[in-house]
Amino acid sequence: MTQVKRGNARTAVMTRKQQRFSLFKIVSVVMGITLLVVLLMQNDPFPGVRKAAMRHRRRQTEVIASSSERDFRNPTETVEEIKTEKIDHNSEEAAAGDGAAARPDTGGDSSGNNGGRIYTLELANLNDGKKGKVVIQTRPEWSPLGVEHFHELMDIEFYKDAKFFRVVNDFVVQFGIPALPKNKKDTVIRDDPVVQTNARGTLTYATSGKDTRTTQLFINTRKGGNAFLDKQGFSPIGEVIEGMEYVDQIYAKYGEKPNQGKIQQQGNAYLDKEFPLLSYISTTYQGTPGDRS
Q: Report yes or no on 282 lying in a domain.
A: yes
Considering the domain architecture, whether residues 28 and 139 belong to the same structural domain is answered as no
Domain with 204 in it: 62-292
What percent of the chain lies above the pLDDT cut of 90? Answer: 60
C-alpha–C-alpha distance, residues 116 and 112, integer Å: 5
For position 246, what pLDDT does the model report? 99
Considering the domain architecture, whether residues 39 and 128 belong to the same structural domain is answered as no
Considering the domain architecture, whether residues 34 and 118 belong to the same structural domain is answered as no
Pairing of strands 132-138, 236-242: antiparallel
Considering the domain architecture, whether residues 23 and 167 belong to the same structural domain is answered as no
* pTM of the shown model: 0.67
Query: How many domains does the structure of the chain reveal?
Result: 2
DSSP secondary-structure letter at 213?
A: B
**Average pLDDT value for the chain:** 78
Considering the domain architecture, whether residues 20 and 116 belong to the same structural domain is answered as no
Q: Report yes or no on 243 lying in a domain.
A: yes
Which domain CATH number covers 137?
2.40.100.10
Considering the domain architecture, whether residues 134 and 249 belong to the same structural domain is answered as yes
Best CA proximity match to 159, nearest among 235, 255, 268: 268
Considering the domain architecture, whether residues 235 and 183 belong to the same structural domain is answered as yes
Q: Report yes or no on 50 lying in a domain.
A: no
Q: Report yes or no on 54 lying in a domain.
A: no
Q: What is the mean pLDDT of residues 251-273?
A: 98
Cα–Cα separations (whole angstroms), residue 50 to 53, 115, 131: 5, 50, 48
Q: Report yes or no on 272 lying in a domain.
A: yes
C-alpha–C-alpha distance, residues 99 and 108, integer Å: 19
Considering the domain architecture, whether residues 15 and 146 belong to the same structural domain is answered as no
Q: Report yes or no on 8 lying in a domain.
A: yes
Considering the domain architecture, whether residues 11 and 152 belong to the same structural domain is answered as no
Considering the domain architecture, whether residues 173 and 273 belong to the same structural domain is answered as yes
Considering the domain architecture, whether residues 24 and 99 belong to the same structural domain is answered as no
Considering the domain architecture, whether residues 274 and 176 belong to the same structural domain is answered as yes
For position 21, what pLDDT does the model report? 59
C-alpha–C-alpha distance, residues 71 and 65, integer Å: 8
Q: Report yes or no on 55 lying in a domain.
A: no
Write the pLDDT tens digit of every residue in 127-159: 999 999 999 999 999 999 999 999 999 999 999
Write the pLDDT tens digit of every residue in 54-72: 443 444 334 444 433 333 3
183 within 8 A of 157, measured Cβ to Cβ: no
Q: Report yes or no on 56 lying in a domain.
A: no
C-alpha–C-alpha distance, residues 250 and 124, integer Å: 9
